[in-house]
Amino acid sequence: MATSTLEVGPISTATRSPSPNTDLVWKKGFQLEIRMTTSLNSSKPLRQRLLYLHARTPSVFSSILGYTPIEPVKGYQPEISAEEIDWPYLTVHDAIVDGWQIVQFPHLQAPFDDADLDVVGYEFILQKMEVVDG
């Protein structure tokens, strides 16, 4: 599984050299040390997996109405099925706990009546960067 760590702390006057697997970034008086241990142990690059979740409300704790994973492999097509699917997550928060990151929250530009919607629920787009076979 891909892992990375992030350490944040004040910039010290002593300068130390980062390890070969570390990038140092200075921003507004803080030193961010980012250690990437993800693809260093693998010859395969990280790929972006996407997950479209449609929730009952704009809250991350709301129940899921729709689930569409997008895998970064050539020829992948999302499956459409009339069968009831056993989704791995009941809420957007469940997906976050499993390592998914929200890249887009639902658009809430103006109040509206649900009867006027052409889509189901509130769409969250999540991503996970992983080594993917295929």
- pLDDT tens sequence across 90-113: 999 999 999 999 999 998 765 666
Q: Which residue has the tokens 């689930």?
A: 67
What value, to the nearest 5°, has the Cα angle with vertex 65 and ends 3 and 67? Answer: 40
From CA 105, how far away is CA 116, in angstroms rounded? 20
Distinct helix (H) and strand (E) counts, the chain: 1, 7
pLDDT of 118: 56
pLDDT of 112: 60
pLDDT of 130: 92
Q: What is the pTM of this model?
A: 0.62
pLDDT of 50: 96
From the list 28, 38, 32, the residue with the least C-alpha distance to 2 is 38
C-alpha 132 chain-centroid distance = 15
Q: Which residues of the chain have pLDDT under 50?
A: 1-39
| 35 contact partners, CB below 8 Å, separation of at least 6 | 4, 5, 6, 7, 19, 21, 22
From CA 85, how far away is CA 91, in angstroms rounded? 15
Q: Which amino acid is at 60?
A: V
Q: Which residue has the tokens 């997550």?
A: 89
